Amino acid sequence: MDDTKIALVTGANKGIGFEVARLLGREGVTVLLGARDAGRGAEAAGRLRADGVPATPVHLDVTDPASVTEAARRIEDEHGRLDILVNNAGIMTGWGRPSELSVDDLRQAYETNVFAVVSVTNAMLPLLRRSSAARIVNVSSSMGSLTRIAAPDSGIPMMSYSSSKSAMNGLTVAYAAELRDADIKVNSADPGYCATDLNHRTGPRDPAEGAAVVVRLALLDEHGASGEFRDEHGPVPW
Ligand SMILES: NC(=O)c1ccc[n+]([C@@H]2O[C@H](COP(=O)([O-])OP(=O)(O)OC[C@H]3O[C@@H](n4cnc5c(N)ncnc54)[C@H](OP(=O)(O)O)[C@@H]3O)[C@@H](O)[C@H]2O)c1
């Protein structure tokens, strides 16, 4: 088996996902750059290639089952396996207080941040099982840490986004348990508060700084942990 690793990063046409793709590419990983808009994907892959990172765009709307199936079929045809899946695509909806939140806002956040993670992971698992050491990284958030948001001084959480990331962490633990025997490590990463379109670029960190912990978990060796939630400093409380 060719030992060049193959990684799929969802929502990689900008923000943290783009920087994850760049950093993985610099580590010699073959990067498949997932993007729901083919034009934005091609443009982002072009920017990476100009930077010396040979990335290939893959059309992938994580909330569209047909798109997910087609992306898995294409990866199967072109590569036959997948070594790294980074579930990065994410959205933030519903800024109001919980009592003002519409169920539609909540549902929208869950479609992308939770349900699509299951859809993409399950579609890619047959390919990941063919890897000798597969890794799955779910890009979560400290806003999904129930311990942190339950602290009396933490204010009122942004319920749709926070609870969707708590749910995502639940997925991490469940997949890690199921896949432990298959030697597939599954972890959640908290990139920290980064300046991206998600938060109208209000975050103090550069997206590349946020991407670093995601890449570390994507490249864990055989001694690395599974079923954990980590930021750049170490474990984040669930
Ligand atoms: N920024 C932060 O401070 C921060 C902190 C903690 C966690 N995170 C997490 O980091 C991840 C990346 O966010 P970001 O900050 O880099 O935000 P961003 O710049 O808004 O990027 C989000 C990416 O997700 C893509 N996306 C959204 N819905 C999609 C769908 N249905 N199918 C495929 N792609 C889709 C977007 O594509 P389009 O360009 O087509 O919209 C974009 O590429 C998210 O999971 C977010 O929750 C961010």
Q: Average pLDDT in the 27-42 region?
A: 98
Q: Average pLDDT in the 105-117 region?
A: 97
Q: Average pLDDT in the 34-59 region?
A: 97
Banded model confidence at residue 24, pLDDT cuts 50, 70, 90 = very high
Banded model confidence at residue 3, pLDDT cuts 50, 70, 90 = confident
Residue 17 CA to ligand 1 center (angstroms) comes to: 7
Is the separation of the CB atoms in 195 and 206 below 8 Å?
A: yes
Residue 116 CA to ligand 1 center (angstroms) comes to: 13
Whether 94 shows a pLDDT value over 90: the answer reads no
Q: Average pLDDT in the 85-89 region?
A: 99
Q: Is residue 58 in contact with ligand 1, taking CB distance under 6 Å? A: no
Distance CA(170)–CA(168), nearest Å, equals 5
User: Top-level CATH class of 6-235?
Assistant: alpha beta
Question: Which amino acid, residue 160?
Answer: S
pLDDT value of position 179: 98
Which residues lie below 8 Å from residue 115, measured CB to CB, with a gap of 6+?
Answer: 63
pLDDT digits (tens, 9 = 90+) for 211-226: 999 999 999 999 999 9
Residue 184 CA to ligand 1 center (angstroms) comes to: 24
- DSSP character at residue 90: -
Whether 95 shows a pLDDT value over 90: the answer reads no
Catalytic residue among 5, 110, 161, 185: 161
11: region left, alpha or beta (phi > 0 left; psi from -120 to 50 alpha): left
Is 193 annotated as catalytic? no
Is 161 annotated as catalytic? yes
Q: CA torsion, points 195, 197, 202, 204, in degrees to nearest 10? A: -10
Whether 234 shows a pLDDT value over 90: the answer reads yes
Whether 96 shows a pLDDT value over 90: the answer reads no
Whether 92 shows a pLDDT value over 70: the answer reads yes
Is the separation of the CB atoms in 169 and 117 below 8 Å?
A: no
Q: Is residue 138 in contact with ligand 1, taking CB distance under 6 Å? A: no
Q: Average pLDDT in the 92-100 region?
A: 90
Banded model confidence at residue 168, pLDDT cuts 50, 70, 90 = very high
* Spatial CA neighbour of 208 closest among 194, 223, 221: 194
Q: Is residue 57 in contact with ligand 1, taking CB distance under 6 Å? A: no
Handedness of CA 120, 7, 187, 20 (dihedral sign): negative
Whether 1 shows a pLDDT value over 90: the answer reads no
Name the average pLDDT for the chain: 97
The percent of residues in the chain predicted with pLDDT above 70, rounded, is: 100
The percent of residues in the chain predicted with pLDDT above 90, rounded, is: 97
Q: Is residue 114 in contact with ligand 1, taking CB distance under 6 Å? A: no
Q: Is residue 194 in contact with ligand 1, taking CB distance under 6 Å? A: yes
Q: Average pLDDT in the 104-120 region?
A: 97
